[in-house]
Each structure stands twice: as C-alpha cells, then as structure tokens.
C-alpha cells in the first residue's frame, strides 16, 4: 500500500487497507484519500502532492492528469485537480491551530460548477466521501465569493509590477529594489501602480489574494522585473 501524506499539513497518514477517508493524527483534518498501489500512479501521486503543497499548481496539475489517464475512476484525482485550479492552500489559524483553506488562484467560475469537482462527486466510492467533497466545495465557494466581493470594491490600476520580493534566505532581492524605483517613477507621472511591497503593506498575508486579483484584472499593463532566470521562474 502506498504511503500517503496529509493533504493539509503533510504529515504521514495512518490508513486502513481499502479506506477512502482518514483523519490526520497531526492536524485533525478528515479527508478523502485515493486507493493506490506500489506502482506508477503511486509514485506520480507522491510527486504531484509534493508540488501542490509547495504551490507549484501547474506542474502538479499535469501529473494529476497523467494519474487520471491511469486511474480514470479514482475520484480523489479530480478533487486534487480542483485544488490546483483554485490554488488551495491550507494555513494554520493562529488561535485555534486549525488548518483552514485559502485560495491563491481566484476564479470567476464557481467551484460547484467545476467539471472536475462534479466528476469527483459522481465517482465517490461512498456517501461519506461524497459528503466531504460537497462540504469542502461549499466552503471554498463561500471563500471565493468573499474574495470576489472585496476585489469588486477596489479601484482599478493602470500598471501591475510583477517581481520576486525575497530570495530563498528571506532577504530582499535586487529585483525588489529595482521595482521600487520603477514604482516611484511611475507614481510621480500620475499612474496608479500596484507594487505589492507598498500596496499590500497594511494587509495580512492571508488577505492578499482579493487585492492581487483585482489589480491583475484591472491593470492595462504588467511590467515584469527580473534579474535572473530563477527569479523569473518563481512559482508566484
């Protein structure tokens, strides 16, 4: 039997043979799990999950699609594709220490109307698995609605500056300094500019998405600042 990790926190799951639902012993989240063996799809699944948890949603999605070709009747593959499409990340609440979902890839399309979600529900092995998909989808769609509501009240931007803020050691990048100079020059010319270091400085980390989404959808121009291929290819 394949070794599976928690979808939310990455801890190893203790799963009974043939089970489709398990509760993580570390973070306490009840979740669905795929039924896989020690073969190609299990290795692909492990890599796809690793990529998804690290925020590399496009790369993870391509692997889930390969798994779907090998295991077309496995519902959890389609649910995982939904998590990639909406950029779902599970963050720990400071007070309760519960893992709650946040969306990093807001979509206009409802989660409930997503074809992969509907396929996961249709293929669910039992009522309990189906219930988890439905409840999670409803929770994500409620969150999606709140994000869209906030974004709709934002004033439009002229220019969006895209750059990498920190390097792998947490230090500010040269890109950030260059982008800051560009931001000041453009603002001096009267443009409304989105520059995350300043625009988001009064926002909590989990509240960034509505403002980024609004800026990306309203800006007429995106300027990408990069001093290295590594920075240009960063996930975000």
Residue 197 CB contacts under 8 Å (≥ 6 apart), including other chains: 165, 176, 179, 180
Label residue 169 by pLDDT band (50, 70, 90): confident
Among 130-134, 142-146, 223-227, name the one with the lowest average pLDDT: 142-146
pLDDT of residue 168: 84
The mean of the pLDDT values for the chain is 90
Q: Show the 3-state SS of 175-194.
A: HHHHHHHHHHHHHHCCCCEE
Question: What pLDDT does residue 204 have?
Answer: 61
**Average pLDDT of span 82-87:** 96
The share of the chain scoring above pLDDT 70, in percent, equals: 95
Cβ-defined contacts of 53-58 (< 8 Å, 24+): 53/10, 54/235, 55/87, 55/89, 55/104, 55/235, 55/236, 56/235, 57/84, 57/85, 57/87, 57/104, 57/105, 58/84
pTM exceeds cut of 0.85: no
200 in Cβ contact with 213 (< 8 Å): no
Tell me what pLDDT residue 2 has.
Answer: 65
What percent of the chain shows pLDDT beyond 90? 62
Helix 40-53 with 75-85: angle, nearest 10 deg? 20
DSSP state of 134: H
Summarised one tens digit per residue, pLDDT across range 2-49 is 678 999 988 999 988 878 899 999 999 999 999 886 688 889 999 999
Dist. CA 67–CA 46, nearest whole Å: 11
21 has which bridge partners? Answer: 32
Task: Write down the pLDDT at residue 227.
Answer: 95
Q: How confident is the model at residue 1 (pLDDT cuts 50, 70, 90)?
A: low
Where is 209: in which H helix or E strand? helix 208-218
Higher pLDDT pick, 168 / 123: 123
pLDDT at 234: 74
Q: At residue 189, does pLDDT exceed 80?
A: yes
CA 130 to chain centre: 22
pLDDT score of 38: 65
Give tens-digit pLDDT for 200-212: 888 765 578 788 8
208-218 and 127-152 helices cross at what angle (nearest 10)?
60
Among 98, 206, 201, which Cα is nearest to 147's? 206
Asked if the model's pLDDT at residue 95 lies above 80, the reply is no
């Amino acid at each position: 039997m394949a070794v599976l990790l928690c979808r939310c926190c990455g801890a190893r799951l203790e799963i009974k043979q043939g089970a489709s639902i398990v509760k993580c012993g570390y973070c306490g989240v009840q979740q669905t799990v795929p039924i896989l063996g020690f073969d190609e799809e299990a290795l692909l699944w492990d890599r796809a999950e690793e990529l998804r948890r690290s925020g590399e949603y496009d790369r993870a999605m391509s692997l889930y699609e390969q798994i779907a070709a090998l295991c077309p009747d496995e519902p959890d593959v389609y649910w995982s594709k939904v998590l990639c499409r909406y950029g779902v990340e599970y963050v720990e609440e400071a007070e309760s220490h519960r893992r709650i979902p946040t969306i990093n890839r807001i979509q206009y399309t409802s989660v409930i109307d997503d074809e992969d979600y509907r396929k996961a529900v249709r293929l669910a092995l039992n009522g309990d698995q189906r219930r988890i998909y439905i409840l999670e989808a409803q929770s994500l769609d409620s969150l999606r609605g709140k994000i869209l509501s906030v974004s709709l009240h934002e004033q439009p931007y002229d220019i969006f500056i895209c750059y990498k803020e920190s390097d792998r050691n947490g230090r500010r990048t040269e890109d950030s300094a260059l982008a800051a100079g560009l931001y000041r020059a453009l603002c001096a010319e009267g443009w409304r500019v989105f520059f995350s270091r300043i625009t988001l400085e009064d926002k909590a980390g989990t509240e960034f998405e509505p403002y980024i989404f609004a800026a990306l959808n309203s800006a007429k121009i995106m300027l990408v600042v990069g001093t290295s291929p590594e920075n240009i290819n960063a996930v975000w």
